[in-house]
Amino acid sequence: MSALVLLGCVLGYFVLLLLVAWRTSRRADDAAFFVGSRRSPWLLVAFGMVGTSLSGVTFVSVPGTVASHGFTYLQIVLGHVVGYAIVAFVLLPLYYRLGLTSIYRYLGARLGDTAQRTGAVFFLVSRTLGATARLYLVVRVLQDMVLQPLGVPFWLGSAVVVLMILLYTFEGGVRTIVWTDTLQTAGMLIGLIVCTGYLLALLGQTPLQAWDALQAQGSARVLGTDALAADFWAKQLLAGIFIAVAMTGLDQEMMQKNISVARLADAQKNMLLMSLVLLAVVALFLFLGGLLAQLGPRLGLPAGGDRLFPAVVLGHLPGWVQILFVLALVSALFPSADGALTALTASTCIDLLRLQERHDLDAAARTRLRKRVHLAWAALFLLLVLAFRRLDDPSMVLLILKLAGYTYGPLLGLFAFGILTVRQPHAAWLPWIALAAPMLCALLDAQQARWLGGYRIGLEMLLVNAALTFAGLWSCSTAGTDRRR
């Protein structure tokens, strides 16, 4: 398939997004940008959040892990189902009762302004690293498949993609991305189903025959049984629960879509439906990865890795499948990046700049400031994508989850301390404790072979990080009255 044709399809898809953005952003104010004026249809939010949760990393990287890790990634997603239930029935009622626009205002109400700013900063770091790593992975694939054959340098392709995302989120924010994410999730799932069906046909197998082949080659393993290994089932399940709580329930990007729904009961239905759909979709991605693990060696390609799926599609599948793959990949890219850009703007404006409390600014001035912040975050996205180009980790999904253990751990510790205790930490110590916890975790990670013998810490590092934060807050706190009461 001609790279020029693929590029034309991507541009046509982007024009469709711009039309949706134009339709949904008319007469949008700051309330529409931050929380969709709290009128988002819950079913659309649920469906669109599947795309946000998966992103281009899942589309490319998760299938590439099957050759080396089997289906063990499913252990984490099973934990997610439990974690999403905790978000639905513990955190969402809290956010709705307080009528929050930024969820970190809970920390301000409960633990003070320093806690709110600290939580916001850790979210900004967490989401920036995660979103740009995801963005880089998809831009890299687009570069290999579409832009490089046309002689377009990586930096220019990255700049164009970031500009696309900026254009359709600039005015409407959450009101727009609720609708565009729904469109893009549908595009991603159509691409996933078509590619899976075509690979089955190429292998000459039924789904049951493919599953038998995966079991025969040892790629169908779901449960890790070595208690000392990083992929032991209990560790992965527990990590999955708290990754879902931290990366969804304590994440402004994910929660701003939930709290844009008018009723708490509908937001809870959204979370539960999303968790079940997500489980089914990830299982299908892993099945696709098993097909790729069989097909790769037959085609003279490696059996795994982030580049396997694009290499099979680009080199061995017909043009119409390549078009669907590229459009599905773009559909997987945008829901994560557009929501992140909007959420980072919202948290900066509300938690750090206190835009809603700036009575010295009229509505027009506040909107201008919000747009400048939006532009600044877009510029930073571009710089970090170029930085990830130099790193080029072979399995971005595992890198992102590892980064999350360091950056979301303090957030989990802060919220747990606020919800589970009535103690009040000393404000001056709070940021230093939140910073010290991930530094201690990094030291533990580097020395675990010496200090822990054969035990390997995996994704449960998130819990260790949160526990260190909680313990530090307890040690510098005094018994007091919950500020919410």
Q: DSSP letter string over 169-200?
A: HTTTTHHHHHHHHHHHHHHHHHHHHHHHHHHH
pTM for this predicted structure:
0.78
pLDDT at 396: 55
Whether the per-residue pLDDT at 35 is higher than 60: the answer is no
pLDDT at 416: 93
User: How many other CB atoms are there within 10 angstroms of residue 209's CB atom?
Assistant: 12
Q: Given pLDDT bands bounded at 50, 70 and 90, which one contains residue 39?
A: low
Q: Are 293 and 66 in contact (CB under 8 A)?
A: yes
Burial of 211 (0-12, 13-18, 19+ CB in 10 A): middle
Give the pair of three-digit tokens for residue 233: 């089932």
Structural domains of the chain sorted by starting position, each given as residue range(s) with its CATH number in brackets: 3-392 (1.20.1730.10)
pLDDT at 189: 84
Q: Which of 226, 188, 217, 204 is nearest to 303 (CA)?
A: 217
Length of the chain: 485
pLDDT at 115: 93
Radius of gyration of the chain (CA): 22
Mean of per-residue pLDDT scores for the chain: 81
H helix runs in 87-112, sequence order: 92-98, 105-111
What percent of the chain clears pLDDT 90, i.e. is strictly above it?
16
- Look at residue 262 and give its three-state secondary structure: coil
- Strand bridging mode 477-478 / 424-425: antiparallel
Higher pLDDT, 454 or 102: 102
